[in-house]
Amino acid sequence: MAINVYKLIKMATGGRLPRPLRMLGLWGMHVAGKRTIGIFIDPVLACNLRCKMCYFSDAEKRASMKGKMDSRQLDLVEKALFHRALKLQIGCGAEPTLYSDLEDIVKRGKRAGIPYISLTTNGQLIASGRVDLMALVDAGLNEITLSQHGVDKETYEFLMPGADYDKLLRLVEIIREVKKKHPEFVVRINFTVNSLNVDNLAGDGFWRLWGDDVLNVVQLRPVQDLGESEWRDFDHTSLKEKYDTTIGAIVEGCKARGITCLAPDLNQIDAVNETQDAATATIEDFSYCYVSPAACYKPDFDLESDTYETYHKRNHSARRLFVSAFGGGKSRQRNTSKKLNYKVR
């Protein structure tokens, strides 16, 4: 499962921690030179699909998403940040398999000693043979997260324009072959549930597609309005009415098969926002590192001259973390569906 700094601090010191200990845990890891960040990298700002629930379905937003990282940028990012990363996730808001040398990024992460490397993708270019999943796993990839918003051909291709259902079937077989050689390889499905595809989760169609021995994690997200997408139906009434035979049934199916399931309870379907305490907000802001052709870590992070250490020394981060352990701080609203703040089943 993906490595999370906050969870690491909790595991290291035991149980549900009071605010001062959570903050002091992060402070201690920071000043001791330990790995404290998750790097979420979009090496290319483009996508081969036009999924209806994604902003790539919006022509204006799509036109603004441009750029590809070159080797010099990757050299700078690797030097500045990789040595402080607990996790490297390749693919965050775009399709990483359009990048010509994913294996190079995986090898860079492995060379830097990053403990966990993940790829988030729609998988179509893996199925077509353009990207070699086995080579990526041989190079050190630990996990793949697949976007799949339908189980049958009609729903899958309608909600994910540009996708080919036959390629999804081929992808399942490719993953099976990878798992034979690398049984520890983690396969995660991300399924965004809406009024059109909720019935796909009823019956045994989902399990006929994937079987009982391929998946490690299933995450189910109720659709929400993130803006700039073709999909406009955000009414969750049908999701709640059909919960027991759809989302709830997948949760129970995962339990029976020993698969981790991240899914909302019935009363969480509409609970998009929740209050996030100040300590957790600070930890998240400190440890989340987004990298793309146009951005790196923080707005004032200078990739040409900064490293993790020089940036935080200039911003007196160690002192601010220590002080925040005992200060009030500010809570904030967080996006429950986006952050998947659901029970692990």
The CATH number linked to 113 is 3.20.20.70
Domain for residue 293, yes or no? yes
288 versus 7: the higher-pLDDT residue is 288
pLDDT digits (tens, 9 = 90+) for 162-174: 999 999 999 999 9
Place of tokens 């709830």: 248
Res. 320: pLDDT tops 60: yes
Res. 115: pLDDT tops 70: yes
What is the overall mean pLDDT for the chain? 90
Domain for residue 128, yes or no? yes
Q: Which percentage of the chain shows pLDDT scores above 70?
A: 86
- Reference 335, options 286, 276, 264, 278; nearest CA is 276
Domain for residue 344, yes or no? no
Domain for residue 345, yes or no? no
Res. 7: pLDDT tops 60: no
Res. 330: pLDDT tops 80: no
Query: Range of 97's domain?
Result: 5-339
Domain for residue 23, yes or no? yes
Domain for residue 212, yes or no? yes
State mean pLDDT over 200-210: 97
Number of domains within the chain: 1
State mean pLDDT over 112-117: 98
pLDDT digits (tens, 9 = 90+) for 31-90: 999 999 999 999 999 999 999 999 999 898 899 989 999 999 999 999 999 999 999 999
State mean pLDDT over 175-200: 98
Contacts 24+ apart (CB under 8 A), 106-111: 106/136, 106/139, 106/140, 106/141, 107/139, 107/140, 108/74, 108/78, 108/82, 109/82, 109/85, 109/140, 110/139, 110/140
333 versus 41: the higher-pLDDT residue is 41
Predicted local confidence at residue 343, as pLDDT: 62
Cβ-based neighbour number of residue 203 at 10 Å: 13
User: Is the CB of residue 96 less than 8 Å from the CB of residue 120?
Assistant: yes
Phi-psi region of 97 (alpha: psi -120 to 50; beta: other; left: phi over 0): alpha
User: Is the CB of residue 295 less than 8 Å from the CB of residue 289?
Assistant: no
pTM: 0.90
CA-to-CA distance for 289 and 286, rounded, in angstroms? Answer: 8
* Burial (Cβ within 10 Å: 0-12, 13-18, ≥19) of residue 10: middle
Res. 11: pLDDT tops 50: no
Predicted local confidence at residue 153, as pLDDT: 98
pLDDT digits (tens, 9 = 90+) for 126-135: 999 999 999 9
pLDDT digits (tens, 9 = 90+) for 270-311: 876 566 666 677 788 889 999 999 999 999 999 999 999 999
CA-to-CA distance for 43 and 186, rounded, in angstroms? Answer: 22
CA-to-CA distance for 272 and 202, rounded, in angstroms? Answer: 24
Q: Which percentage of the chain shows pLDDT scores above 90?
A: 76
Res. 256: pLDDT tops 90: yes
Domain for residue 66, yes or no? yes
CA-to-CA distance for 93 and 95, rounded, in angstroms? Answer: 7
State mean pLDDT over 121-142: 98
Domain for residue 194, yes or no? yes
